[in-house]
Amino acid sequence: MIKFTLKSVVLTIFLLCIVFLGMQTAQQGLIKMKGYNDPSIEHVINVSKTSDGQVEAAVLGSKKVVNIDEKQQFLEKRKAFNFFSSLGQSLAEGVKSTIGKAFKAIHHLLN
């Protein structure tokens, strides 16, 4: 079991490094395609918060300004409900309580 876990962790780290290498290669390709070093393309995704409480997101140079408070109020008005989110939360609570009960039972058996 330990060998499997170790192999899985090593494989995950290796694949994560490959993904980062691919992102870096894509960024360099964008710079080469442009023909010159443009500071607006240095970061593929750039998110920053403005002084008036809005969030500014730049994806490949195109900027979009979003007001988080307005979005939150809009979603609260619509009473947004995500079925899969609530299903995941209830499943997580069930697993958490089951594991807690199992640990308590093992603790009582050993003492």
Dump pLDDT digits (tens) for 13-39. Answer: 999 889 888 887 887 787 777 776 666
**Is pLDDT above 60 for 41?**
no
Q: What span, in angstroms and rounded, lies between the C-alpha atoms of 91 and 39?
A: 46
Q: What span, in angstroms and rounded, lies between the C-alpha atoms of 88 and 100?
A: 18
Are the C-beta atoms of residues 47 and 57 closer than 8 Å to each other? yes
Q: What backbone phi and psi angles, to 5 degrees, belong to 42?
A: -60, -40
- Confidence label for 42 from pLDDT (cuts 50, 70 and 90): low
**All structural domains of the chain with their residue ranges:** 1-37, 67-110
Model's pTM, two decimal places? 0.33
> How confident is the model over 62-89, as a mean pLDDT?
74
Q: What span, in angstroms and rounded, lies between the C-alpha atoms of 21 and 33?
A: 18
